[in-house]
Homo-oligomer: A and B are copies of this chain.
Amino acid sequence: MTVIESIITMQKEAEALRSAGRRIGFVPTMGYLHEGHLDLIRLARKHADVVVMSIFVNPTQFAAGEDLERYPRNFERDRTLAAEAGCDIIFAPSAGEMYPADDSSWISVEELGSALEGAFRPTHFRGVTTVVGKLFNIVRPHYAVFGQKDAQQAAIIRRMTRDLHFGIDILVAPIRREIDGLAMSSRNTYLSDQERKEALALSRSLRTAETLFAQGERRSHALYRAVEEELTRSETVQVDYIGIVDPDSFLPIEGDVGPRTLIAVAARVGSTRLIDNTILGDEATPS
């Protein structure tokens, strides 16, 4: 496995690979890999000849007061795990090269970006779409793989890729969970033992909605209340939002939910902010 830090070197490598007819699969990450990330590498491998993973803790998707400084990092561990999972190239640029001193260009997706996560983190998605656009221009992949755990991010990237004609197929891998149901996240490392237990409220609330849906419940407000009840059972868990939305447009669903509905939740457990989601009625992408 190769590690590339320079943008120009990565661009030349990508050009050479494309010219040789090799299909590039790309997995953008912020590092501190867990099995969820490794699933993304494995999915990329299935489609592509060469898998590139970027590791870049992107400053523009953190707001002031968020966890940019304490975001966990362990490059040597990431390198070993990525190689074992089938990654061919790690692209790990510096922030200074990704964002020149007087950088002032942004990519934004107006729809999709203001609801749910966007309402709580108003500058977050602009940072995500901008860095992913930069990375797409550097890595020039045929496929790019994102995780369903960040469902809204995946929908926004899909829209951006289509609108701006990047010519890249976006693949989304299912949520990977711990045995007890907690969605894997690099941020889980922040949780104390007690918080780790309380954090199960997120996945449990989604399982409750799935059970009700399987039993025939279709009323959006009834599903909402069931999720809310489960989430607010503990005082340690502070709910940011519960969204019952269309999984492509992220528009809220009122009245009865349809055959494919996304329930997304965000909550703070102590000082750690966690998100999770499930798609009701979609057996093709189990969460």
Q: Which residues of A contact B (CB under 8 A)?
A: 7, 11, 15, 18-19, 21, 98-100, 102-112, 129-130, 133-134, 137-138, 159-160, 162-167
Contacts and interface: CB of A to CB of B under 8 A. Distances in A.
B106 A112 contact: no
Given A103-B163, A137-B165, 17 more contacts: A7-B165, A11-B165, A11-B167, A104-B110, A104-B111, A104-B159, A105-B107, A105-B108, A105-B110, A105-B129, A105-B160, A105-B163, A106-B108, A107-B107, A134-B163, A137-B167, A138-B167
B133 A164 contact: yes
Most B Cβ at <10 Å: residue of A103, A111, A133, A163: A163
Contact of A165 (B109, B129, B134, B160): B134
A131 to B, nearest CB: 10
Nearest to A113: B104
Copies in the complex: 2
A23 to B, nearest CB: 12
A138 B165 CA distance: 6
A134 B164 contact: yes
Given A137-B167, A164-B134, A110 B100 contact: no
Contact of A164 (B108, B109, B137, B165): B137
Given A107-B107, A110-B106, A162 B100 contact: yes
Contacts of A18: 15, 18-19
A53 B193 CA distance: 62
A38 to B, nearest CB: 27
B166 A137 contact: yes
Contacts of A103: 163
Contacts of A164: 105, 107, 130, 133-134, 137
